[in-house]
Amino acid sequence: MLELYHHGSSVCAAKVRWAMIIKNLDFETHYIDILKGDQFDPEYIKINPKSVVPSLVHDGNIVNESTVIMEYLDLAFPEIQLTPKNPLEYVKTRYWTKALDELLHPACGTLTFACAHRHIVRKNLSEQELEDFLASTPGHSVTTDWAGFKKQIVKYGFEAPGVEEKIQLYDKYLQQMDQELQKSKWLVGDEFGLADVSLTPYVNRVAMMGMSGWWEDRLPYLAEWWARIQEVPTFQSAILDWCPEGLTNDLMTFGSKSWPDVKRIIGIN
């Protein structure tokens, strides 16, 4: 039996969920509301000591780290493979997933908290609950400095030290995607694969926050890829439908209000 611990707006969980659906796997889901602090439940920490989603449990065996989970799924269920077999395409895919784990993902946490999540937790939690929520993040979470950084972002927003650099880094990766997509239909060659599944939630995050202007009239190859991605039949059910309506609306409302700041930071009009 496969069990996925996940959350509706988690980019890491979304890519694993989409991979599982594309691979036609049956799985049970456990919803961990990371904006309410479910990830800090001692029972969940036994499964995921970093207090993050996603976690996969396969016949009682725990597999953590979203990129590793996707690699595991291709090994354990090879009938539908997302990882390219061609060695050079495999390497290109690994460059993407490595960059995502090391740099793009931490930048995404920063972008999302600065633009939307800091307002959402303030809106939904009492002052004491917010204090407890922020105090509960362990030393090694999304990153090794996430506990302190998250507190700073919730307090100072775009003014928190390091936020602008992370948003500029996000832009660098969207530009890099655009450059690669100038050469091929999908991120690695002419076949849709693991790199596309992995990067999709990061582009979707920007779109869900009402910031498609980030690529419109600016990154044309990324814009075309994004249109193709949204036409993949399982995109809607795997990525969008799992985000509760209230959270979808909050991401759009707070994200749109933050767009002028993001535009200033990445230097577009």
In a 13 Å sphere around the CA of 64, the CA atoms on its Cβ side amount to: 12
Nearer to ligand GSH, 109 or 219 (CB): 109
Nearer to ligand GSH, 71 or 224 (CB): 71
Q: What CA dihedral angle connects 104, 110, 114 and 120, to 10 degrees?
A: 100
Residue 200 as a binder of ligand GSH (CB under 6 A): the answer is no
Nearer to ligand GSH, 132 or 191 (CB): 132
Applying CB under 6 A, the span of 46-54, 124-132, 211-219, 233-241 interacting with ligand GSH comes to: 46-54
Nearest to 206 by CA among 157, 167, 153: 167
Residue 39 as a binder of ligand GSH (CB under 6 A): the answer is yes
Catalogue the long-range contacts made by 231-239 (C-beta closer than 8 Å, 24 or more residues apart). 232/192, 234/18, 234/21, 234/22, 235/18, 235/200, 237/21, 238/14, 238/17, 238/18, 238/21, 238/22, 239/14, 239/17, 239/18, 239/200, 239/201, 239/204
Applying CB under 6 A, the span of 60-68, 78-86, 157-165, 254-262 interacting with ligand GSH comes to: 60-68
Nearer to ligand GSH, 38 or 261 (CB): 38
Number of residues that bind ligand GSH (CB under 6 A): 15
Residue 115 as a binder of ligand GSH (CB under 6 A): the answer is no
Residue 93 as a binder of ligand GSH (CB under 6 A): the answer is no
Q: Which of 20, 22, 34, 265 binds ligand GSH (CB under 6 A)?
A: 34
Q: How far is the CB of 45 from ligand GSH (least distance, A)?
A: 12
Residue 66 as a binder of ligand GSH (CB under 6 A): the answer is yes
Q: Which spans of this chain sit near ligand GSH (rule: CB under 6 A)?
A: 10-12, 34, 39, 51-54, 65-67, 137, 141-142
